[in-house]
Amino acid sequence: MHVKIPRVPLVATLAAVVAAAALLAVPIPLRAPASAGFIRIPEAARGPAAPTAPTTPNAPTPPASAAPEGTPAATAPGATPPGTRPPVVDHGPRTGNKVALTFDADMTDAMRNQLRSGAVRSYANLKIIDLLERERVPATFFLTGKWVEQYPDVTRRLAGNPRFELANHTYGHLAFTPDCYGLPRIAEREMTADVARTFDVVAAYGGRQTRYFRFPGLCHDRKALAALAPLGVTVVDGDVVSGDPFAKSWRPVVRASLDGVRPGSVIILHVTEANAPMTDEALPHILAGLAERGLEPAPLSEVLGLG
């Protein structure tokens, strides 16, 4: 597993890019983190407070018909010993030919208001799910609790697909650092409960539950990571940022998704339709491009070597 320390400079670099968009508290058009100059530290150089590798590398994958309470947290993919600061991963081993398609399902209060007022029709891109199902493509969905509550039927559909894994993207997509694209900030004392609550919301749907977690805007610092320590999670950023939020055309999304994709890559996409309106058009081209490169989508747990 590839672990790194928190990436504060990336956050600062990206902040200016999307500050305006964040006024609506919408998905963040991130730049590729691989180019942001973060520091990786070798396994041996990590101190005692450093992340601990998961202890259940061969945990069985539950069937889609798993009990509603979901996979026990301690044995789910991504589970780490509670009490240790979670590892942060960008990608899996650069061997083999597997890559992970990950779809974030953001939902803020501002977005819910857009739905209620009728200004936005949908933040759930069913065309993406249709395509993945039709083509039998594995994928991993990072769900906010509020998105799940908005779209229980879609969540049931995701949980019922044995190729889909479910992961955690906070309850209401609040910022976990002081400066995260202008997203409204969560209080530090509420961080742990927010993420725990989201696991509970998602777990009720069963299926392939995980202990993978992604911060809104990928914004995290030492305090945010420390807040997750009791929960036994793995933080997943990603190494290929599609830039699909607010895309005006599918072409740049395809280019960003395929440029720099390698074995073990974790590709960040969004399933939020109105805020990422080109993703369903880009996806067939992304899948074709991956196939041309001999790369094959797989569940995140498989790509990270934990499944």
Hey, is 165 helix, strand or coil?
A: strand
Q: Quick check: 237 binds Zn ion (CB under 5 A)?
A: no
Tokens of 88: 């942060």
Name which of 104 and 244 has its Cβ closer to Zn ion.
104
User: Smallest distance, Å, CB 104 to Zn ion?
Assistant: 4
Tell me which stretch binds Zn ion (CB under 5 A): 38-46, 106-114, 240-248, 277-285: 106-114
How far is it, in rounded angstroms, from Cα 135 to Cα 138?
9
Asked if residues 237 and 90 have their Cβ atoms less than 8 Å apart, the reply is yes
How far is it, in rounded angstroms, from Cα 145 to Cα 84?
24
How far is it, in rounded angstroms, from Cα 205 to Cα 69?
7
Name which of 100 and 295 has its Cβ closer to Zn ion.
100
User: Smallest distance, Å, CB 18 to Zn ion?
Assistant: 11
Radius of gyration of the chain (CA): 17
Name which of 98 and 214 has its Cβ closer to Zn ion.
214
x/- mask, Zn ion, residues 200-219, rule CB under 5 A, reads ----------------x---
User: Smallest distance, Å, CB 27 to Zn ion?
Assistant: 5
Number of residues in the chain: 307
Q: Nearest 5°: phi and psi at 181? A: 60, 20
Binding to Zn ion, residues 244-303 (CB under 5 A): none
List all residues 6 or more positions away from 227 whose beta carbon is below 8 Å from its beta carbon.
Answer: 176, 188, 191, 192, 195
Please report, for residues 164, 250, 303, the alpha-carbon distance to residue 130 in angstroms, rounded to integers and kept in the order given: 13, 18, 23
List all residues 6 or more positions away from 74 whose beta carbon is below 8 Å from its beta carbon.
Answer: 56, 232
Q: Quick check: 104 binds Zn ion (CB under 5 A)?
A: yes
| H helix and E strand count, the chain | 10, 9
Name which of 71 and 210 has its Cβ closer to Zn ion.
210
Tell me which stretch binds Zn ion (CB under 5 A): 36-44, 104-112, 155-163, 204-212: 104-112
Size of the site for Zn ion (CB under 5 A): 3
x/- mask, Zn ion, residues 51-90, rule CB under 5 A, reads ----------------------------------------
Q: Quick check: 106 binds Zn ion (CB under 5 A)?
A: yes
Name which of 21 and 226 has its Cβ closer to Zn ion.
21
User: Smallest distance, Å, CB 237 to Zn ion?
Assistant: 12
User: Smallest distance, Å, CB 138 to Zn ion?
Assistant: 21
Asked if residues 29 and 18 have their Cβ atoms less than 8 Å apart, the reply is yes
Name which of 27 and 78 has its Cβ closer to Zn ion.
27
List all residues 6 or more positions away from 118 whose beta carbon is below 8 Å from its beta carbon.
Answer: none
Name which of 276 and 295 has its Cβ closer to Zn ion.
276
User: Smallest distance, Å, CB 251 to Zn ion?
Assistant: 23
Residues making contact with Zn ion (CB under 5 A): 104, 106, 216
